[in-house]
A and B are shown apart, each in its own frame.
Chain A
Amino acid sequence: MLRLTEIIGTASEPHIAERLHSLSHRGAVEYVTLRREDTSRKRLHVFTDRGTEGAIILDRSEQLANGSVLLLEEQRAVVVRLEEAPWLALEPRDAAAALELGYFCGNMHWKVRFVGEYLHISLQGPRADYLERLSHLIADGRVSVVGNE
Chain B
Amino acid sequence: MNSIVPGTLAPRTKTGTTSAARVGVGGPVGSGKTALLEQLIPRFIARGTNLAVITNDIATKEDAERVRRSGLIAPERVAAVETGACPHSAIREDPTLNMQAADDLEAKFPGLELILIESGGDNLASSFSLDLVDYWLFVIDVAGGDDIPRKRGFGVLTCDLLVINKTDLAPYVKTDLPRMVREANEVRGGRPVLLTNCAAGEGVDAIVEHLAREVLFDR
Contacts and interface: CB of A to CB of B under 8 A. Distances in A.
Contact of A71 (B6, B134, B135): B6
A42 B134 contact: yes
Interface size class of A (residues with CB under 8 A): 20 to 34
B6 A73 contact: yes
Interface of B is mostly: loop
Contacts of B21: 43
Contacts of A40: 129-131
Interface string A39-59: 011111100000000010101
B7 A129 contact: no
Interface residues of B, number: 32
A57 B217 CA distance: 9
B157 A125 contact: yes
Contacts of A71: 4, 6
A127 interface: no
A43 B211 CA distance: 11
A55 B215 CA distance: 8
A108 B93 CA distance: 12
B5 interface: yes
Given A3-B4, A57-B18, A59-B18, A41 B135 contact: yes
Interface string B177-218: 000000000000100000000000000000000000111010
B186 to A, nearest CB: 11
Given A1-B9, A59-B19, A73-B6, A109 B134 contact: no
7 contacts: A4-B4, A5-B4, A43-B21, A45-B214, A109-B93, A109-B127, A109-B154
Interface of B: 1-7, 9-10, 18-19, 21-22, 92-93, 103, 125, 127, 129-131, 134-135, 152, 154, 157-158, 189, 213-215, 217
Given A1-B9, A45-B217, 6 more contacts: A5-B10, A41-B135, A59-B18, A109-B125, A125-B158, A129-B152
